[in-house]
């Protein structure tokens, strides 16, 4: 049975390998990225001081476990009133002349700059370079969120496109291509001369700032929304023209039919709508991730969204300021699923407010090892809302087995070793407890509390 399982695994890998082989730079993200993203705690309003505080927390407490990205999410260009917390903040047409207000800081080529009040080190046209330099000095990597397209403000001013002689913003804009939840941008018509140069120009700007990671938003949404294939490809092409590598993350809710294109043009891509701290949503993620699991591998990471633990919604974007609504059991289930699936791990809570639970969830070296150094992640079965996932460690030492109870009452789960493609005698280790808890030669079985989970590592004797 074990031999048959290995043969089937090799056949399965060979079937999907062409997807990964098409990636031009699989070394950019050889492992699922780990870090912090400002969105869940601060929405569209994060400040430089808050970014620095979270970066310093990572450097002091989490870097040694592999956490190293610091990502500023959307609308860093928006001039919020001090203390303002509006999500998806709009621009409005001035009734006098049609100009757009509030005004966003941008250069002569229509490229957006950070709001100086929120990011004071960006003054004088420096952009994010001073902040990126500081984050790099901590031994960390710096990322930003950007919206697909060209600023409507650049179109109103009809700014020239850098590197495209005689071409201006109005020559490349597609005003029929709109984001349904943020009106700051219009799409770019990639059939027009100068369209690729627009994307080249903004990537040169981000590269000059020292950006290591970009979350490109408004690329997909739902079955009624067209995947913005041409602009994704243009963004990827622009990244390839740079000397320094940039990890590209696509958002949001990538349709499964677009999996090959996403794999060819990015390192990670969101596979669901925004994920928040409700067990109903966590339960829904299981079927989504089971479908996407075969497409994970070096340079290609389906992304289950940010980690909803800790202090969230401090200034938007969903609900009132709170600590995550997940119970400790649900939070551990959340991290266990993300880890066995090998999702990117981007913490959403405000790190300086972490309590013992968040520290436990983020600093367990064995759980992180399962996320970072495994292969062949898969759902083994889902029966009566009892779920089993498995993967193998890259060094061949462990078979990782995650057991979940999605029911509202305690249930017993039994997994035959043959279902895992195994035979023989194994030592069973609890990865969360970091301790051996028994042996198995036929099956493993445990009673699991409602909404709870167990992460096991099987070691051949």
Indicate which CATH number applies to the domain containing 38. Answer: 3.20.20.70
Q: Could you tell me if 65 and 143 lie in one domain?
A: yes
Q: Could you tell me if 226 and 150 lie in one domain?
A: yes
- The answer to whether residue 267 is domain-embedded is yes
Q: Angle, nearest 10°, between helix axes 195-209 and 229-240?
A: 50
Closest CA to 60 of 138, 113, 128, 169: 138
Count how many domains the chain has. 2
Q: What is the DSSP letter of 19?
A: H
**pLDDT single digits (tens) 125-172:** 999 999 999 999 999 999 999 999 999 999 999 999 999 999 999 999
- The answer to whether residue 8 is domain-embedded is no
- The answer to whether residue 10 is domain-embedded is no
- The answer to whether residue 19 is domain-embedded is no
Q: Could you tell me if 425 and 395 lie in one domain?
A: yes
**pLDDT single digits (tens) 414-437:** 999 999 999 999 999 999 999 999
Q: Could you tell me if 54 and 191 lie in one domain?
A: yes
Q: Angle, nearest 10°, between helix axes 129-137 and 48-57?
A: 10
Render 98-132 in DSSP notation, one character per residue: --EESPPPB-TTS-B---TTT-GGGGGGTTTHHHH
Q: Could you tell me if 323 and 390 lie in one domain?
A: no
Q: Could you tell me if 273 and 396 lie in one domain?
A: no
Written as six digits, the tokens of 447 are 């009673």
Show the DSSP H helices in 179-274 as ranges: 195-209, 229-240, 259-265
- The answer to whether residue 421 is domain-embedded is yes
- The answer to whether residue 394 is domain-embedded is yes
Q: Could you tell me if 364 and 297 lie in one domain?
A: yes
Q: Could you tell me if 354 and 397 lie in one domain?
A: no
Indicate which CATH number applies to the domain containing 443. Answer: 2.60.40.1180
Closest CA to 304 of 330, 340, 332, 264: 340
Domain span at 435: 386-460
User: How far is residue 63's CA from residue 138's CA, in Å, rounded to a whole number?
Assistant: 9
- The answer to whether residue 62 is domain-embedded is yes
Last residue of a domain, one of 316, 346, 372: 372
Q: Could you tell me if 96 and 171 lie in one domain?
A: yes
Backbone φ and ψ for 285, nearest 5 degrees, come out as -65, -25
**Other CB atoms within 10 A of residue 424 CB:** 10
Q: Could you tell me if 127 and 49 lie in one domain?
A: yes
Question: Could you read off the pLDDT tens digit of each residue along the chain, which spans 461 residues?
Answer: 443 444 344 344 444 433 443 455 568 999 999 999 999 999 999 999 999 999 999 999 999 999 999 999 999 999 998 878 889 999 999 999 999 999 999 999 999 999 999 999 999 999 999 999 999 999 999 999 999 999 999 999 999 999 999 999 999 999 999 999 999 999 999 999 999 999 999 999 999 999 999 999 999 999 999 999 999 999 999 999 999 999 999 999 999 999 999 999 999 999 999 999 999 999 999 999 999 999 999 999 999 999 999 999 999 899 999 999 999 999 999 999 999 999 999 999 999 999 999 999 999 999 999 999 999 999 999 999 999 999 999 999 999 999 999 999 999 999 999 999 999 999 999 999 999 999 999 999 999 999 999 999 999 99
User: How far is residue 205's CA from residue 209's CA, in Å, rounded to a whole number?
Assistant: 6
pTM for this one? 0.94
Last residue of a domain, one of 312, 344, 372: 372
Q: Could you tell me if 362 and 247 lie in one domain?
A: yes
Q: Could you tell me if 334 and 420 lie in one domain?
A: no
- The answer to whether residue 14 is domain-embedded is no
């Amino acid at each position: 049975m074990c031999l048959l399982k290995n043969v089937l695994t090799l056949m399965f890998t060979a079937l999907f390998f062409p997807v990964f082989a098409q990636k031009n730079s699989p070394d950019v993200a050889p492992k699922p990225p780990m870090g912090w993203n400002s969105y869940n705690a601060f929405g569209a309003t994060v400040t430089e001081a808050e970014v620095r505080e979270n970066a310093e927390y990572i450097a002091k407490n989490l870097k040694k476990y592999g956490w190293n990205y610091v990502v500023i999410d959307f609308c860093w260009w928006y001039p919020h009133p001090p203390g303002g917390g509006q999500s998806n903040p709009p621009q409005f047409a001035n009734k006098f002349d049609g100009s757009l207000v509030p005004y966003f800081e941008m250069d002569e080529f229509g490229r957006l700059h950070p709001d100086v009040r929120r990011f004071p080190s960006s003054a004088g046209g420096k952009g994010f370079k001073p902040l990126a330099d500081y984050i790099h000095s901590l031994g960390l990597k710096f990322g930003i969120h950007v919206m697909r397209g060209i600023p409507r403000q650049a179109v109103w001013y009809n700014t020239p496109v850098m590197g495209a002689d005689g071409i201006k913003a109005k020559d490349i804009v597609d005003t029929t291509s709109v984001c349904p939840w943020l009106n700051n941008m219009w799409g770019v018509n990639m059939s027009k001369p100068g369209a690729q140069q627009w994307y080249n120009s903004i990537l040169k700007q981000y590269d000059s700032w020292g950006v290591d990671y970009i979350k490109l938003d408004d690329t997909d949404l739902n079955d009624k929304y067209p995947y913005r294939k041409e602009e994704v490809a243009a963004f990827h092409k622009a990244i390839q023209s740079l000397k320094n590598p940039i990890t590209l993350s696509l958002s949001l809710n990538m349709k499964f039919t677009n999996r090959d294109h996403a794999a060819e043009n990015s390192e990670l891509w969101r596979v669901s709508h925004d994920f928040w701290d409700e067990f109903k949503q966590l339960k829904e993620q299981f079927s989504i991730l089971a479908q996407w699991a075969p497409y994970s591998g070096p340079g290609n990471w389906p992304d289950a969204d940010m980690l909803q633990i800790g202090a969230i919604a401090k200034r938007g974007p969903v609900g009132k300021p709170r600590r995550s609504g997940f119970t400790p059991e649900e939070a551990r289930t959340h991290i266990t699923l993300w880890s066995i699936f090998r999702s990117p791990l981007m913490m959403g809570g405000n790190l300086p407010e972490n309590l013992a639970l968040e520290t436990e969830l983020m600093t367990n070296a064995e759980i992180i090892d399962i996320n970072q150094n495994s292969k062949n992640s898969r759902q083994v079965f889902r029966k009566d809302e009892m779920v089993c996932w498995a993967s193998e460690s890259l060094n061949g030492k462990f078979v990782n087995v995650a057991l979940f109870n999605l029911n509202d009452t305690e249930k017993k789960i039994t997994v035959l070793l043959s279902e895992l493609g195994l035979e023989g005698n194994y030592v069973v280790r609890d990865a969360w407890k970091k301790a051996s808890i028994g042996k198995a030669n036929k099956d493993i079985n445990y009673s699991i509390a409602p909404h709870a989970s167990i992460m096991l590592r099987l070691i051949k004797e």
